[in-house]
Amino acid sequence: EADIYQTPRYLVIGTGKKITLECSQTMGHDKMYWYQQDPGMELHLIHYSYGVNSTEKGDLSSESTVSRIRTEHFPLTLESARPSHTSQYLCASSVGGATNEKLFFGSGTQLSVL
């Protein structure tokens, strides 16, 4: 079992609200990722981190921001949510340092912006 947790599991909010999606892992992994996935579609990398104080943007342009103050915590924030942000957000982690690492995924946060 992967020890990576995402909260909330489901979130419905109104346009313009600021939200933070939480992601925590207890495995001591250096690398963490945020993916965005529309139903039945491929995953798009939106942010990743190689470790504390390291954050990078992924392939998909995103209006979200991330922070990595602690190894175990990689929250994603939307300052002003819009209906176009409606999607599933998946957090993942890996040990890092080599290319043979598998990703551990959280259960995801399904975000709906009205």
Partner 1 sequence: AQTVTQSQPEMSVQEAETVTLSCTYDTSESDYYLFWYKQPPSRQMILVIRQEAYKQQNATENRFSVNFQKAAKSFSLKISDSQLGDAAMYFCAYIGVVDDMRFGAGTRLTVKP
Could you tell me if 57 and 87 are in contact, meaning their C-beta atoms sit under 8 angstroms apart? no
Positions 52 through 71 that interact with partner 1 (CB under 8 A): 58-59
Q: Choose the binding region for partner 1 from 11-19, 41-49, 67-75, 78-86 (rule: CB under 8 A).
A: 41-49
- By DSSP bridging, strand 109-113 and strand 10-13 are parallel
The DSSP call for residue 101 is P
Shortest Cβ distance from residue 102 to partner 1 (Å)? 5
**CA nearest neighbour of 25 among 17, 16, 33, 37:** 33
40 near partner 1, rule: CB under 8 A? yes
Our CB check for partner 1 shows the closer of 53 and 100 to be 100
Give the DSSP per-residue string, 1-14.
---EEEE-SEEEE-
Q: Which residues of the chain form contacts with partner 1 (CB under 8 A)?
A: 31, 33, 35, 40-43, 45, 48, 50, 58-59, 88, 90, 92, 96, 99-103, 105, 107-108, 110
